[in-house]
Structure 1
Amino acid sequence: MIIREQDTGRSIYVILDGKIRVFTRDHHGEELELAVLGASQFFGEMSFLTGKPRSSSVTAVDTSVIVELSYTSMRQVVKEHPTVKQVLVEYYQERLGSTAEKRAEQGTEEGKGDSRQKSRVSVKLVILPKTTPTGEAKASSWNGISVDVAESGIVVRVSGASPETFLVQGEVRLEIDLPEPWGEIRTLGTIRRVKSAQTAKDMTMVGIEYAGMAEADAKKLRNYLAGGD
């Protein structure tokens, strides 16, 4: 194993010879292959640019020769040659989009066997401040309507935003307004699926897996799902 998902580190790796496989896992533990890379290709740019933990695991498919470029040395290269940074940013954005598409193709819906509720509830989705490839700290919030609510995740329909808006690493904050007597639930989440809604323009479907929901809110959600129509 060259890199494990959630490892810390900001090095970039260049493949001189051989072949490597990039993969992640959904919340059921099922493996999802993201890419197979060969000679002259590189990986690790997401953590280099954002400072976030590794977003996927990397393992060698066969005997490979790989060069590790440290964060310090790459930072100097980027400083002296701005076009290098532009290339890294372009690959970063392309791979984020590809990952979202792979998840959608794989059908990694949150909790397929969960209790679920199709009744619509209001949802506020907050993309937390983060370091972007351009170094800016940004935060944004969107109001949406649930399409599918489950014990482990939620699908939200958001108007006025393109799918690219939600191709983010890291966590988002959810404020789910359940009807009385259940009330509001607040939790962090990880975006797992993003796609354009087929029924209308400028509308995006965002699939989010809950992360670290408080037990009191989890109980509230279970009761809502059990008692919903």
Structure 2
Amino acid sequence: MDYKIRQDRTPQERKKLTAGRAAYFQLMREGYSNKEVCRIVGINPRTGKVWGNGRNAHKGRSRSAPPVRGAASTGPSRYLRESDGIHIADGLREKASLRPIAAEFGRSPSAIGREVRRNGKLYEAGGAWAYRPHAARGRADGRRPRPKQGKIGRNPELREFVQDHLERRWSPEQISRVLRLRFPDGPEMHVVHGTIYQAPTSRVWDTPAGRLAQLLDRRLITATRPPPGCASRRWEVSPPTT
């Protein structure tokens, strides 16, 4: 920052503070406090607060600065728009396949297929999917709020299995592996070890503190990362304390 501390502390004209105002915002972006920036620029701290809050006080009246709005995005967004849903419904009604429907508005066929399966309705008699865009939008909006119950919290059998093996001092990695061996044809019983570590924050455990949270907080299970450049060491489970 090339701005020098102003030596003349007498009131300045409005135009003379143009450089000081620019210096104020630059110093604030660099992490200085409002008090320190005002000392450097040579203004009253109240003036600095007025600048920082985006208000121009004049004759006892305050006017808020206009909100800064980004340019509207014209490219494909993460979520399908309502117009996209109407387009999908029209294409399916005309017996079009997913690939040409997706190509018309720049989406992948897998994204269109996933949208139809998740938010459409399957008529078992004819084996065909019916997609209603407004109903599909309602289903998608209903699933979006957070937080959600985790996979362990939704499955009492899985939750009991995880808690039981944690009490036996098994690590989440060991539990994740044995679940796939014990239930090879039950994907609802398969979880990765990260899911077990995150489960205490899912707000679905029986006790207020969370049974699994208590088990993990006792530090029965700890892991040590290998040092950089050492690929031979793996995650280790600490031996049980006596």
Instruction: Determine if the TM-score, normalized by the shorter chain, exceeds 0.5.
Output: no
Q: Which has the higher helix share?
A: 2
TM-score normalised by L of structure 2: 0.25
The structure, 1 or 2, with the larger RCO (C-alpha pairs under 8 Å, 6+ apart) is: 1
Question: Highest Rg: 1 or 2?
Answer: 2
TM-score normalised by L of structure 1: 0.26
